[in-house]
Structure 1
Amino acid sequence: MAGEKRNFDTEAATWDENPARVKLAQDVARAIIGTVKPGPDMDVLDFGCGTGLLTLALQPHVRSVTAVDSSQGMLNVLKNKIRAQKIANVRTRLVDLDQGDALEGTFNLVVSSMTFHHIPDVEVLLERIAGVLTTRGWLAVADLDSDEGKFHDTHEGVFHNGFDRIVMMKYFGNAGFESVRNRTAAMIAKPSLSGEMRTFTIFLMTGKKRV
């Protein structure tokens, strides 16, 4: 299904020029805020932050955001935004789990948008995320519903053709999360490789780390 790891560094400079990406991040942020209700006492980890579209949407609502990505190019774009906007409560961190890097720190909320389908072993990642969450800390994951492999123009670095929500709920439970819920966070209309317009749905799945 997937080829080698995708090089997001080459796409970083123009990433935000796609209005659908910007809208998706806004929709996901709105769904997270409505579900988790993040507050000023929360430290957040954004896993697979990219250029920080979700990071910066959540930043005004929380104490701090640690923005993590495996692409230095993406993080550089976010760093420029942080400097330009004089944001004090966001820091970036290069973490590549495939290279043996570890998730570190302690967080009240971990968020991730459109990253899980690029992760070969989602269950291992969920266990690692649980390890950096406080007791009763929140996890909020937004990703594609099962898409028959028709969402991406290239399957480079794509390890899952979306996810079945019931299976993902089971993964959450196995990793130590309870009160697991899901909702549709966003919809994206885009042409398939054959040229026909298709609508893809993005779910938001949330859960609390068990005591």
Structure 2
Amino acid sequence: MAGEKRDFDAESATWDENPGRVKMAHEVARAILGAIKPGPATDVLDFGCGTGLLSLALQPHVRTITTVDSSQGMLDVLDKKIKAQGLKNVRTRRVDLEQGNKLTGTFDLAVSSMTFHHIRDTGMLLDRIAGVLRPAGRIAVADLDSDEGKFHDSNEGVFHSGFDRHTMMKLFEAAGFVSVRNRTAAIMQKPGPDGVMRTFTVFLMTGEKEA
């Protein structure tokens, strides 16, 4: 597993040109809306937001979304979308936990899609997210089921070859989340690094911070 950090800034300009990536973000958004049912009083944190594909799909259904990413390039792309669409309830914030930045604010719902496998210490991240959720706040994390390292063309910056759902559930519970549930949020086909077409599944795991 590669330990180097991936240069997401360099990929930001063409990030949305991948139709599979866009389709998956919308499928994850539908799964979150179905599982959580956020509403007009819901303040959301999107951790690892990238260019905001998930955030902008959720935006019409919630009060505010604070988007967080370590890549300024990704956030710059999202800022342009926010300006072009005249959105008033989405704001961007650069946070790099590995550089010692802190998660701040108070939220009803934290979401994250396809980010956790890029995080070295996922238990630490869950603790940090729990720390900014209101009592009875919800969390919804979408990521790959165990993929044997076949999903990415390059495993640079990838610390986990997907996740075992039972193991992830235990991490949620260790961070203080209850009523932990999971479902399959998306199914996608793509060629692996060897060119062989494979099917990958993305789970959505949800939980609630104890009141």
TM-score range, shorter chain: over 0.9
TM-score normalised by structure 2 residue count: 0.99
Cα distance, 1:196 vs structure 2: 1.4
Task: Tell me which residue corresponds to 1:56.
Answer: 56
Q: Secondary structure, in 3 states, of the residue corresponding to 1:187?
A: strand
Say whether 1:194 aligns with 2:194: yes
Output the amino acid matched with 1:141: V
- How far did residue 193 of structure 1 move? 2.0
State how 1:126-205 maps to structure 2 within 5 Å: 126-205=126-205
Separation in structure 1 between the aligned mates of residue 32 and residue 209 of structure 2, nearest angstrom: 16
Q: CA–CA distance in 2 between the matches of 1:162 and 1:21? A: 16
In the alignment, which residue of structure 1 is the partner of 2:22?
22
**CA distance in structure 2 between the aligned counterparts of 1:14 and 1:183, rounded to whole angstroms:** 30
CA distance in 1, matches of 2:21, 2:192: 17
Q: AA paired with 1:120?
A: R
1:74-95 CA-to-partner distances (Å, cap 9, x unmatched) read 0000000000000000000000
Corresponding residue of 1:37: 37
Query: Which residue identity does 1:22 align to in structure 2?
Result: V
The equivalent of 1:113 in structure 2 is 113
Unaligned segments of structure 2, at least 5 residues: none
Deviation >3 Å, runs of 4+: none
**Cα deviations across residues 47-69 of structure 1 (Å, max 9, x unaligned)?**
00000000000000000000000
Question: Does residue 1:122 correspond to 2:114, yes or no?
Answer: no
Unaligned runs of 5+ in 1: none
Cα distance in 1 for residues equivalent to 2:162 and 2:3: 16
Give the C-alpha shift of residue 3 in structure 1.
2.7
Q: Deviation per CA, 1:92-123: give whole Å up to 9, x if none.
A: 00000010000000000000000000000000
CA contact (8 A) 2:95 2:103 kept: yes
Q: Does the CA-based 8 Å contact 2:154-2:193 persist in structure 1? A: no
- Cα deviation 1:102-158 (Å, max 9, x = unaligned): 000000000000000000000011000000000000000000000000001101100
How many residue pairs match? The answer is 211
Find the counterpart in structure 1 of residue 104 from structure 2. 104
Offset at residue 194 of structure 1 (A)? 2.0
Shift of 1:188: 1.2
User: Deviations for 1:13-61, whole angstroms, at most 9, x for unmatched residues?
Assistant: 0000000010000000000000000100010000000000000000000
